[in-house]
Amino acid sequence: MNTNITRFVVSYPQTNWDYAKFRLNRIIRGKDKSNDVFQGLPGGKIELFEHNGELGGIRSLGEIHPVKPFGMHYVAGEGLYFITGLACSREGVSGNEHIARLNDDGLIDLEIHSPLLSQVRSLRRTEKGLLVTASGVDALLEFDLQGRLVWSWWATEQGYDQAYGGGLRILDKTLDHRLKNYPGRLQTTHLNSATVDPYDDNFVLTILFYQGKVARINKTTLTHEIVISGLSGAHHIRPHSQGYMLSNSRKGEVLLFDKNFNLTRRIPGTGRYFPVKWVQDALETPRHTYLIADCNTFKLRERTFSGAQKSISTHMPNRIFQIEPVPATFSLPADFNP
């Protein structure tokens, strides 16, 4: 028996060609500060893979099709938590964006809804519940498993109150923000990833996408310090066996840091000469290789420290958002009904 076999799931928030055309148009036109918001059905997929222990030895075991899944976190004994639901396609129309849990019996046994869940990107299980990044309202939100908000950090109240497209941003927390569209130019930080610091749970780490920085937040005082800077479109701050790792998306690379946030290594995640680089996520494997989501070439790469690599195609228009490890016993239901 091959004891190196491991499994992982991959989320694809948008899987239709209409969205692919929309995104390509934005890339070509360079309209990061635009009012453009995709309207329509983006699709969505979570796919289960198995790794046989050999470099690039990856095969698909099946898929389910929740609407627009972004962040995920598998917790033993509980199941796979994930974000699902549309951001509203136009103002005044709710897309029912929420947190769901798929248990090990293949059933959705928990849903958490909140008027603050606007363009949610990441999700991590915490001691108290679930920590999410709500990019639409520039906030970190922690809910208990009954859906009660138990902790929050609002970037607009912590020195980040200038919208990316210009002007002061003031948020009304009493509104149902699921009924609003907040394109990038209206956001101040586009928080897209957060996790409790694995080496000190008194702190939370989060990526400030527009600022190109990682902030370390004191959960009690809400004060923060910048521990990493100089990033270019970063995503997915994660623990690493030697410290931390993240995807420096626009540079097409994975960055490794020690426990003092000193940069220790850059791992290329796409072709050297590919013109529009974008690495969305990366995962350290038990074999000390790296699974890398090379989104703009629609590939899932596995790379060693020495530079050897193999890849599989995710097939256009399937762009990976997150890679999440699951146990070898994990499976997806054949009759999933989102």
What's the pLDDT tens digit per position in 154-168?
A: 999 999 999 999 999
Q: Indicate if the pLDDT at residue 193 is higher than 80.
A: yes
Burial 13-45 (b: 16+ CB within 10 A, else e): bbbeeebbebbeeeeeeeebeeebbbeeebbbb
Nearest 5°: the CA angle 120, 13, 327 is: 90
Q: Specify the pLDDT at position 41.
A: 78
Kindly indicate the confidence band of residue 214, based on its pLDDT and cuts at 50, 70 and 90. Answer: very high
Within a domain: 337:
no
212-243 b/e with 16+ CB inside 10 Å = b? bbbbbbebeeeebeebbeebebbbbbbbbeeb
pLDDT digits (tens, 9 = 90+) for 2-48: 446 799 999 999 898 777 777 777 666 665 545 566 667 788 999 99
297 lies in a domain?
Answer: yes
Which residue in this structure is represented by tokens 């920085």?
Answer: 213
Please report which confidence band the pLDDT of residue 202 belongs to, taking 50, 70 and 90 as the band edges. Answer: very high
54 lies in some domain? yes
| Domain containing residue 133: CATH number | 2.120.10.30
Alpha helices, DSSP H, located in 218-329: none
Q: Give strand ranges (E) for 103-147.
A: 108-112, 120-125, 130-134, 139-143
The predicted structure's pLDDT at residue 1? 35
The candidate with the shortest Cα–Cα distance to 206, out of 142, 116, 115, is: 142
Q: Is residue 121 in a domain? A: yes
In a domain, 335, yes or no: no
Report if residue 338 sits inside a domain.
Answer: no
DSSP 237-250: EEEETTEEEEEEGG
Stated length of the chain: 338
Distance CA 261, CA 125 (A): 23
* Rounded Cα–Cα distance for residues 5 and 13 (Å): 26
SS3 of 116, please? coil
Q: Helices in the chain by DSSP H: which ranges?
A: 17-29
Q: Which of 15-19, 127-131, 172-176, 329-333 has the lowest mean pLDDT?
A: 15-19
Q: What is the pLDDT of residue 93?
A: 72
Within a domain: 152: yes
The domain in which residue 235 lies consists of 6-326
Mean pLDDT over 116-124 rounds to 96
* Residue 180 confidence (pLDDT): 86
* Coil vs helix vs strand at 218: strand
Q: Which of 290, 326, 325, 332 is nearest to 311 (CA)?
A: 290
Separation of alpha carbons 198 and 186, rounded Å:
32
List the structure tokens of 200: 């000190």
In a domain, 130, yes or no: yes
- Residue 283 CA to residue 94 CA, distance in Å, equals 33
More confident residue, 24 or 232: 232
With vertex at residue 323, the alpha carbon angle to CA 286 and CA 201, rounded to the nearest 5 degrees, is 75
Mean pLDDT of the region 128-157: 98
Indicate the number of domains in the chain: 1
Share of the chain above pLDDT 70, in %: 93
